[in-house]
Structure 1
Amino acid sequence: MDLSYFWTGWTPIWHTLLVGSVGYLTLVILLRGMGPRTMAKMTPLDFVVAVTLGSAFGRVVTAVDVSLAQAVVALLLLVTVQWVLAYFRARWRFMRRLLDSPPVLLYYDGELQQQALRRHRLTEVDVHTAARQSGQGSLDDIQAVILQQDGSLGVISQNAMRDGSSVLPFIEQRRGDS
């Protein structure tokens, strides 16, 4: 058996300690500088960045052939790309359409939207679960259930509907699709 499976010397150990410590601090500073939006419920863009950052960080911490400078540049690159895409997303509608999943109306005014449920691989049980989690005992008390951009289900009771300005665009969109 080759002993290199167990021990290859101090150099890789020191490299892991240095790159891991500096890389971790770099990530904390970068994410702190990006603001709380980065750590909120994740959109698909946020999820891809989180997975990519985690993968890159894991690779640079354990790879002896990756220099400290290269590790920091890789983390900076990924966070910068995320920031640039978020900047474009906030300013241009076509980037929002490209990067975000729009909210989807699943239930409205006593009717389950079967086509939307099927398209998003959800069931009536999921709508009832969302109702219970929001403290409602029946769909009779609910005006709308919306599949949010982050994948959660938002429930709007009839009492809270008011003018419906945050729901009406999706109602009109559904009517246009019918």
Structure 2
Amino acid sequence: MENPLFFDDWAGIGRVLVTGILAYAALIVMLRTSGKRTLSKFNAFDFIITICLGSMLSSIIITRSVPLVEGIVALALLISLQFGITWLSVRFKPVENLIKSEPRLLVHRGVYQEAAMWRERVPVEEIMAALHENGKTDLTADTSVVLETDGSLNVFEAA
């Protein structure tokens, strides 16, 4: 039997509404109890967890083969693992080093740090875009640019 393109039945719509509301409410409760760090913008690890949570939520809502309780348990598991890893990372340096990158200096006092740019795969054009976002048209001898742990570029001027 083929899946209909626009409408299957009212039961399917009702299922989406009920599971959507309940799964969303459960996700909010779990995120509030797990703390602000669960959906922070600190590093790629946190970003990936955020994407996974969204994907899981959509699977719970849309996929008929995923029962609501199993989906909520899966969300709770992922949030618990995220909480555990971040808890360990603030207490043990090796765990922190495993999941968190360090900021990288890409331009120092107007000089491109080409080895760092190559390692981080940041082209000159991205650095120039960051300069333009900060109202600068070109590098000066007092300009430095740092690639932050969240992937953003910060432009600094030496005092």
Which interval holds the TM-score relative to the shorter structure? 0.7 to 0.9
Deviates more, 1:36-45 or 1:23-32: 36-45
Q: Which amino acid aligns with 1:66?
A: V
Match of 2:80 in 1: 80
Structure 1 residue 7, shift from structure 2 partner? 5.5
Q: How does 1:77-156 map to 2 (within 5 A)?
A: 77-140=77-140, 142-156=142-156
CA distance in 2, matches of 1:135, 1:36: 32
Match of 2:17 in 1: 17
CA distance in 1, matches of 2:66, 2:7: 19
1:82-120 residue CA offsets vs partner (Å, 9 max, x unmatched): 111111111111111110121111011232101111222
Structure 1: state its 5+ residue gaps.
Answer: 160-178
Sort the Cα spacing of 1:63 and 1:123 in 2 relative to 1 into closer, same or farther, 3 A: closer
- Cα RMSD (Å) of the superposition? 2.2
Match of 1:167 in 2: none
Please give the TM-score of this superposition, normalised by the length of structure 1: 0.77
Tell me how many residue pairs correspond in the alignment.
Answer: 158
| SS of corresponding position for 1:139 | coil
CA distance in 2, matches of 1:134, 1:37: 28
Sort the Cα spacing of 1:136 and 1:35 in 2 relative to 1 into closer, same or farther, 3 A: farther
Match of 1:66 in 2: 66
Match of 2:41 in 1: 41
CA distance in 2, matches of 1:8, 1:59: 18
| SS of corresponding position for 1:105 | strand
CA distance in 2, matches of 1:50, 1:80: 13
